[in-house]
Amino acid sequence: MTRKDFTDALGRAIAFGVAMADKRANTINSVTPEAAASIERDLAFLLASEDTEEKAILYAEAAAIRDQNCGRRMVLRGLVEFSSYCGNSCLYCGLNRNNPKAERYRLTRDEVLECAELIYRAKIQTIVLQSGEDNYPADWLADIIREIKVRYDMAITLSAGERKREDFALWKDAGADRYLMRVESSDATLYAALHKDRELDTRLRSLRDLRSLGYQTGSGIMVGPPGQTLEHIARDIVFFSEYDFDMIGIGPFIPHPDTPFRGEKAGTVALTLNTVALTRIVTRNAWLPATTALGSLDRDYRVDALRAGANVVMPNFSPASVKKKYEIYPGKKCVGENTGACAFCMDRLAEQAGLDLDYSRADSLKSGAEHS
């Protein structure tokens, strides 16, 4: 039997999402400290639910809000992981610079364009170019962006970490449309515990730069890394709402054997799905991927995420020769398949989730966002 406290807290979370949407319509994004503390208590309580009936209600509500605000669809983005070099020493990531076992590669210009060609032939209208925080020349990537625009006129999403504002501006002028930069935690202390020699303020400054330059901007978190509490996740969800991100990626923490967190417990599927659902309820019309990490566990949980309010899947179009080398976490799905092969599974995934398959650009649904 569903607890009344659960029903009441869920009602308040839904009302908070509606109220924040109304505020944004009037260009007001902030939350008072009192309101933030209240909704964070409700979100932490809802996140903790392990009751099957309560979770079914939560996921159904999230899916209904998605369908109302985004359409009943599963959008495809073609992913290309073009460099595994990284100058950071994040304690959870297999690509961190201190991992001598990491296999490093950097695709050539022509290799990236070949991947873009495959995405175009698959009729997917967004390419996601992702790398570690590699110190390649900004002009090199700008040239690739321009060529993709000329050849294929597809939307271009970048996920290349922190750079100078001038680099972000160069890539935007070259034709980039969107930028993904996960914070992993909006709490400064927890962020510092996950990222050696890194500060949250620097990350947030980059996100503000991207937004001010006209990028459709995304962020996100891991669920379950060492030190994270339900209260941290609740604050992250409110943070997503206040920043009004166009895209939000949420996946479970999976410990990598060649990192300082190798012996830590993985994030749970249940808490990850609860986080996806509540992020949908609070942010309403953001694009939420069913992340590859959720598909890389004991079974493919991406369909569960889609049933809980997610609406994006990113089939991997990286060359088969490098897929295994981009190992942020172990056991990554589909790394043994040929380039773009996982795109053939998308019809089945959408059907299982009860969604229509959408190959379109699917630009930001946020008011005032650029749809260049």
How many percent of the chain have pLDDT more than 70?
95
The sign one gets for the Cα dihedral 265, 266, 272, 273 is negative
65: pLDDT strictly greater than 50? yes
Please, what is the average pLDDT of the chain? 95
pLDDT higher at 369 or 212:
212
Residue 371: predicted pLDDT: 40
Domains in the chain (CATH in brackets) are 4-358 (3.20.20.70)
Strand order in the sheet with 216-223: 78-83, 126-131, 155-159, 178-180, 216-223, 247-252
| Farthest-apart Cα atoms in the chain, separation | 59
In this predicted model, what pLDDT tens digit does every residue of 310-344 receive, in sequence order? 999 999 999 999 999 999 999 887 776 666 666 67
3-state secondary structure of 224: coil
Distances from the Cα of 59 to the Cα of 72, 155, 192, 224, 304, angstroms: 14, 30, 32, 20, 9
State the DSSP code for 295. G
372: pLDDT strictly greater than 50? no
Query: Residue 80, Cβ neighbours under 10 Å: how many?
Result: 27
Query: How far is it, in rounded angstroms, from Cα 208 to Cα 341?
Result: 36
In 3D, which of 206, 205, 199, 200 has the Cα closest to residue 180? 206
How many percent of the chain have pLDDT more than 90?
89
Query: How far is it, in rounded angstroms, from Cα 162 to Cα 327?
Result: 20
In this predicted model, what pLDDT tens digit does every residue of 232-249 receive, in sequence order? 999 999 999 999 999 999
Retrieve residue 331's tokens.
Answer: 């056991």
Query: How far is it, in rounded angstroms, from Cα 288 to Cα 311?
Result: 6
In 3D, which of 245, 330, 329 has the Cα closest to residue 289? 245
User: Would you mind telling me the total number of residues written for the chain in this entry?
Assistant: 372
3-state secondary structure of 220: strand
In this predicted model, what pLDDT tens digit does every residue of 339-369 receive, in sequence order? 666 667 899 999 999 999 999 999 999 976 5
Residue 45: predicted pLDDT: 98
